[in-house]
Amino acid sequence: MAEIRKRNMVERLDGRMVNSGLLRGMLFVCATGCCCGRTERGFAEVDEDLYHAEWTRRSLRNRVHLNQGGCLGPCVLANVVMLVMDGRPAWFHSVNDAAIVGAIFDYIERLLEDTETQPPPVLLPHLFNGFAWDGASGSGAETELQAAPETSGEGVLFLSQSDTDLLALERARELLPDGFAGLEAAHVGRLADNAAVDALLQRLLPGAQVVLARLHSGRAFDYGLGLLQEWAERTDGFLICLPAVEAFDYDLMARSNVGVPLAQAISAYFQCGGPQNLANGLKCLSDHLLISGWGFDQPEELPLNGIYQPNTEGRESTVERDCCACGKASRALPDMAVAADSTGRSTVGILFYRAHLLSGNTGFVDALASEFQGRGMDVRAVYTQSLKECDEAGRPLALGVMTEEGPVDAIVSTLSFALGDGGKVFGDLDLPVYQAIYCSNDRAAWERNGRGLGSLDTAMNVAIPEFDGRIVGTPVSFKEALGEGGTRYVPDGERIGRLAGIVEKHIALRHKPNSEKRIAVVLTNSSAKAARVGNAVGLDAPASLMKLFDSMKQAGYRIGPLPESGDELLFELIGRCSYDVAWLKEEQLAEAYKLPAEQYARWLEQAPAASRVEMEKQWGQAPGGAYVHDGGIALAGLELGNLFVALQPPRGYDMDPDQIYHRPDLPPPHNYLALYRWLRHVWRADAVVHMGKHGTLEWLPGKSVGLSEACYPDLILEDLPLVYPFIINDPGEGSQAKRRAHATIVDHMTPPMTSAGAYGALAELAQLADEYYAAEQLDPAKLPILQRQIWEIIERDRLDDDLKYILRADHGDHSHDWDGSYLDDGTPTALGEMQGAQVAHLLEDVEGYLCELTGAQIRDGLHILGTAPEGEQLVETMYHLVKLPNADTPSLPGAAARIAGEDWLLLQERLGDRRRDFGSQVKTNADLVERIEEECKRALARMAGSGWRVERVSDVATETAARLAALRAAEAATVTSDGEVALAKLKEVLRYAAGSILPSLLEGGEAEIGNIIHALDGGFIPPGPSGSPTRGMAHVLPTGRNFFAVDPRALPTMASWQVGQGLAETLISRYQKEEGRFPNSVGISMWGTSAMRTAGDDIAQVLALLGARPVWQRENRRVTGVELVPLEELARPRVDVVCRISGFFRDAFPHLITLIDGAVQLAISAEEDPEMNFPRKHALASET
C-alpha cells in the first residue's frame, strides 16, 4: 500500500482549501543549469532518466519529491545534487557516476527509517554544505525548527544567569568602539521552561555568530546548551561556555567549540570583572573569532576589597526631606549622633559585595550613604568579595580596610550568609552590626506578600546572618527588571530612613554618658490583669528589675529613689494604672501619665492610611473608648529618675485578653500606640528594655519579616533600640522579636530545676511549635507535615481531649469547628482543612495553653537575672542538665543504670513493672528509678561539696559505682559485666558537668545583666545557640547572648525526613524509567542555604538513598546518629552518593558531614550482597 502523505491544508488565493500533503524531503538535481550536465563545456552528463527511474522504483513519490531543474549555484563543483531531508540539507558535488546516484537513493531510504543515519563512506568524498545553516534536528512534521534557528548575523550573544554580569556588560557596551559587532544579552536563569528557551534563542540567535554563555554549571542550562551546540555545529558559529566561578569546568569546556586557551583568556576578563575588563574581553573575542583587529589590553585584576566613594549627588535624606516638608532648616549634626572623634562626627561602615561595584549596581549603597550623611554622620563604604578572605590573624580583610583610617561606630552589612565564627570578629570590634536586606523580589511583590520576604531571602539575609549576632534591619532595596539585561536594585528611601534612624539611635548609646541616658523598661501585661503584671515566662521580673537597677546605678545611670523590693515596685506601679478594668479606679487614672488626645490624633494622622483606617475601624476614632481620662490617654508607668517603668498596654479590650494575645490580624488599640509614641517623643527615651517573654509588640499585625512602614511593630517602635531579655528555651518566639522589632536578644536561663519545664509530650509540642514558626518563614510547604506530627503527639499522649477543648473555646475574635471527623491520613478535619492563618491561630492557642501548664509547674521558683542556682537548687539544676544525653556525652542516670545492670530507657518505658529480684525497698521499676536518681544527685552533691573540682571526679565516680553495684538484681550480678566501660561513662558525665556545664552556668549568671547594660552602651552582644538546656542541650549555655533560632544538630527534622524520602524515591523511579535499572551512584550538591531553609531536605535525601535513617532524641528532636534500614524493609539496593558541599555548609554543619560519612561507613560495613549495596560494592572494588 502506498504511503499516504500527512494532511497539509492550504488556502489558495481563490479561497479554495486544498491538501498539498507534507513531504519528508526533496531531491534537487542540477540538470539544465549553466554547467552541470553541459558536456559541450567539458562537464559530465546528468542522466535524468536514471534519477526518475530510481525515484519511481523505490516508491518515494509520497515521501521525497524529485526536482530536476536549473542551476543550484556552486558551478565549480558540478555536477551538483542537493538533498533536503527533515529540514537538513546535504549537498553532493561531482555526481558523475551511476553508482553515486544509486548510493544517494540508498541514503535517502535509510534516512526515512532513521533521521540520524550518517552518509555511507562512498558519499563522504562528495559531501559538502552550500548553505550557512544546516537545518534543525528532529524528524518529519514533528521537528521544532524554531529550537535551533539559522544564523544570518555577525554579532555576539551573551547569556548569563547573573544580574551582575548583565549590568556590567551594559556598562562595558559604552566603552566599545563604533562599528563593533552587534551585542545582545539575556538572562537565562529565570526562563520558565524549555519553550521559553526556544523562544529566546529563536529570537536572538539569527543575529549571532558568537555565543558566549557564562553559567554556574552545564546542568543549570542543559537544554539550552544542547540547542546551542547543535546551532554551532550546523552554522559554524562559535560557542564559548565559561564557568561563573574561578574553578575550571570540564563539562562547560567540552561543550565549547573554541580552543581552551581562548576560552580561558576570555574567562579571565570576566573573573577580573568590571566594565573595562569586559570591554577588553569582548574586543579580544572579536579579534580572535570575527577577525576585527580592534586591539585589546590584558585583563586587570581589581582588588578584592577596597573603599568605595558613594555617589550622593542629588540625593536627599529623609531627615532633610522631613525638615523641608515642615519648613525647618535641616540640622547639620543631629543631637543623637554625638561625636565619636575629634571631628565631632560619628562614622558608619557599610559592607557590600564587590560584584555590585563591578556591575554598577550600587544605587542602594549610594542611597544608604546619602541618608547617613544627611543625618550628620560620615560613611566608610567597603566592597568585598567575601568576609571569608582573612589576614594572618583571621580577621576579614574588608574590616581591616574599613578601620584602616580609624574606628567606625556601627556597621551596616548588606552581605548575605555569615562568618560562622561565633561572633568573634564582630565581638573584637565591639560595635553593633546591622543586616540591611536587599530583596530579590520587586517592591510590588513584597507589598503583596503577607510574609514579607521570600524563603530564600529570609534564609540568606536574615536567619543565616543571625549566626553572627547581626541586628535584623529593614529591606533597603528591591529588584527592578531591565528587560533582558537583568535586574538592578532600586533603593527604598523610606525603609533606608528607618534603618538609618535605628543605627543613629544605637550610635548615640555608644557616646552618650550613662548619667544622661533615659531608658524605658516595659513589663509584660498580656492578660491585663493586675495580679499578673510583669509575669514573664520563667522570669521573676520584679526581682530581676531590682538587680538590673542596682547594676545600672553602679554603671553611672541616674536612677531615682527605688522601692525596697520588687513587690513594692509592682504595688506602686499598679497604684497608678494597671489596665485591669475590673479594679481600675478613677484615682488610678488620675495618677497615670497622660498623652493629650490632640497630640495623639496628630501622630495618628501621620501613620500610613491603611493602618490608621484599621485602628479606627476596630477601636473607633482617636483616642478610643478605653483608658481615656481628663482629655488624655492614660499611660501606666512609674518614673525613677532617668528610668521609666511602663506596663505594656493590652492588645485589646472588651474581649478576653488571654484570647487575643497572639491574634495575627487584630490592630493595637490607640493607647498601645500612644505609649510608645509618648516614650519616644515626649519622655525622650534613648532605648527600650522589654523585660521577659510574652510581650505583645512582636506579635502585632504585619509582615512576618522584612517589615514595611504600615506593619504595626515598625509603626509603634519606630527607631527606638530594643533590648530584650528572653528565656533561652523559646527561639521560635524570640525570633519574632529579632526579625519584627530589630530586637537585641539577651537570653536568660530557665528557672531552677525541680519539676520545672515541659517534659514528654509538652516538650515535643513546644519543639514542634518552634519548627512551625521556622517553617512558616523558610519552608511553608512543610506546614501540613508538621500539622500531622502535632496531631500524632497529641493523640499518642491522649491530649486530644485538651485539643478539643482548645478548638471549641471562644477565642474572642475566632473559634475553631470540631466535628470529630478525620482526613484519610488520620489528621482531624478541623486541623487539616484549616487555612494558613487559621492554623497559625490554633498553634498560638495551643502555645498559650502549654504556657499555662508549664507555668503552673515552675511557680515555686523563677529565674532572677544575673544569678545562678545555689545549694540544693544547683544540684537539682545540674541533675536536670545531665539527665539526658548531651550530644556525645551520655546521660548521667543512663550511665548509672548501666552500672546497676539496668537499661535506663527500658526502665522509663515500663515504670509500673513489678520487680521480684530486689528487696522490699524496690518493688517496681519506678522504685528503682528513684534509687538511681538519688545516687546521681548524691554524686553531684559530693562534687558540689568538693567545689566542683574536676580532679575529684574519679573518686566520686568510684564511690557512686560501688553503691550502684549494690543495687544490682541477683540475676544481673551473675552476668559478665562491662563495669569498667560503665564507670568510664559515669566519669565522663561528671567531668562534663564540673568542667563545662557549671562554668557556663556561672558565666551566664554574670553575663545576663552585664550584657543588657552592654547593649545599652551600644556594644556588640555575641550570638549563641538556643533551646532548652534541660532537654539534652546544655551546649546552649552560657546565657546572656543574642541567640539564633536554627539548631544545626536538629537537621534533618522529622518533617524534612519525610520530604527527603520522597525526593529519593522520585529520583530512583525516574532513573529506572529512563535507564531501566537502579542507579549505582548519585551526585548531590549540598548548599548551606538550602539546608537552613528546608531544615535538611537534601541531607535527608542523601540518607534515604543510602538506605539509612536519622535517629532522633525524642525530648529535643535532635539527631543523635543514623541507622541502616534493613534491606527487607528498603526493598531496593542502597545507592551510593557523592556529595559536593558549599563552603558555608562545611563551616556551619561539620557534624552533618560526619553524620553522612557515618551512614556511608555503616553501609560499607554491612554484610550484604554487593548487588544490593552499591556503596559496599564500590568500596570492595577499590580495595582490589
Residue 635's identity, in one-letter code, is: L
928 and 879 part of one domain: yes
550 and 616 part of one domain: yes
Lowest mean pLDDT among 113-117, 452-456, 658-662, 701-705: 658-662
Give the pLDDT score at 323.
41
551 and 494 part of one domain: no
Residue 335's identity, in one-letter code, is: D
Distance (Å, rounded) from C-alpha 1012 to C-alpha 725? 8
291 versus 968: the higher-pLDDT residue is: 291
15 and 90 part of one domain: yes
Give the pLDDT score at 856.
40
Give the pLDDT score at 857.
39
Distance (Å, rounded) from C-alpha 185 to C-alpha 178? 18
pLDDT band at 855 (very low <50, low <70, confident <90, very high): very low
Distance (Å, rounded) from C-alpha 691 to C-alpha 545? 8
**Cell numbers at residue 991, please?**
567531668
Buried b (16+ CB within 10 A) or exposed e, 848-872: bbbbeebbeebeebbbbbbbbbeee
Last residue within a domain, chosen from 124, 142, 160: 142
- Are 679 and 633 spatial neighbours (Cβ–Cβ below 8 Å)? no
Which of 453, 456, 448 is closest to 476 using CA atoms?
453
- Domain assignment present for residue 1031? The answer is no
Distance (Å, rounded) from C-alpha 217 to C-alpha 249? 8
pLDDT band at 92 (very low <50, low <70, confident <90, very high): very high
Strand partners, 11: 17
Distances (CA, A) of 437 to 465, 474, 706: 11, 6, 8
Give the pLDDT score at 215.
92
Q: Do you know the residue count of the chain?
A: 1184
In this predicted model, what pLDDT tens digit does every residue of 758-811 receive, in sequence order? 455 666 776 777 777 677 777 777 777 887 887 787 777 666 766 666 666 554
Report the pLDDT averaged over residues 153-161: 89
658 versus 359: the higher-pLDDT residue is: 359
pLDDT band at 1125 (very low <50, low <70, confident <90, very high): very high
Q: Is the model's pLDDT at 579 over the cut of 90?
A: no
- Domain assignment present for residue 3? The answer is no
796 versus 600: the higher-pLDDT residue is: 600
521 versus 320: the higher-pLDDT residue is: 521
564 and 702 part of one domain: yes
| CATH code of residue 244 | 3.40.50
Three-state secondary structure call for residue 99: helix
Last residue within a domain, chosen from 661, 694, 720: 720
- Domain assignment present for residue 2? The answer is no
- Domain assignment present for residue 1022? The answer is no
150 and 191 part of one domain: yes
Q: Dihedral sign, CA of 824, 830, 831, 833?
A: positive
Strand partners, 158: 185, 212
In this predicted model, what pLDDT tens digit does every residue of 985-997 receive, in sequence order? 999 999 999 999 9
How crowded is residue 127: how many other Cβ atoms within 10 Å of its Cβ?
11
- Are 665 and 838 spatial neighbours (Cβ–Cβ below 8 Å)? no
Give the pLDDT score at 339.
34
How crowded is residue 94: how many other Cβ atoms within 10 Å of its Cβ?
15
The total of structural domains in the chain comes to 7
In this predicted model, what pLDDT tens digit does every residue of 316-329 receive, in sequence order? 656 555 544 333 32
Q: Is the model's pLDDT at 949 over the cut of 50?
A: yes
How does DSSP assign 353-366, residue by residue? EHHHHHHT--HHHH
Quote the DSSP letter at residue 437. E
Tell how strand 410-413 and strand 433-438 pair up: parallel
164 and 131 part of one domain: no
- Are 285 and 292 spatial neighbours (Cβ–Cβ below 8 Å)? no
How does DSSP assign 202-261, residue by residue? HHHGGGEEEEEEEES-SGGGHHHHHHHHHHHHHH--EEEEEESSSS--HHHHHH--S-HH
Distance (Å, rounded) from C-alpha 234 to C-alpha 134? 4
Report the pLDDT averaged over residues 390-398: 93
- Domain assignment present for residue 1029? The answer is no
274 and 310 part of one domain: no
Lowest mean pLDDT among 46-55, 767-776, 1163-1172: 767-776
E-state strands within 1044-1159: 1081-1086, 1108-1113, 1118-1124, 1136-1141
Q: Is the model's pLDDT at 333 over the cut of 50?
A: no
590 and 698 part of one domain: yes
- Domain assignment present for residue 294? The answer is no
472 and 600 part of one domain: no
1167 versus 821: the higher-pLDDT residue is: 1167
Cα 817–chain centre separation = 35
480 and 607 part of one domain: no
Average pLDDT of the chain? 85
Question: Which domain, by its residues, includes 476?
Answer: 305-510
Give the pLDDT score at 15.
52
Give the pLDDT score at 342.
42
- Domain assignment present for residue 968? The answer is yes
E-state strands within 1044-1135: 1081-1086, 1108-1113, 1118-1124
Q: Dihedral sign, CA of 988, 989, 994, 998?
A: positive
Give the pLDDT score at 824.
61
Q: Is the model's pLDDT at 120 over the cut of 50?
A: yes
Distance (Å, rounded) from C-alpha 1033 to C-alpha 887? 8
Counting residues of the chain whose pLDDT is more than 70, the rounded percentage is 85
Give the pLDDT score at 19.
63
47 and 135 part of one domain: yes
- Domain assignment present for residue 583? The answer is yes
Lowest mean pLDDT among 132-141, 210-219, 420-429, 616-625: 132-141
| CATH code of residue 54 | 3.40.30.10
Last residue within a domain, chosen from 793, 828, 857: 857
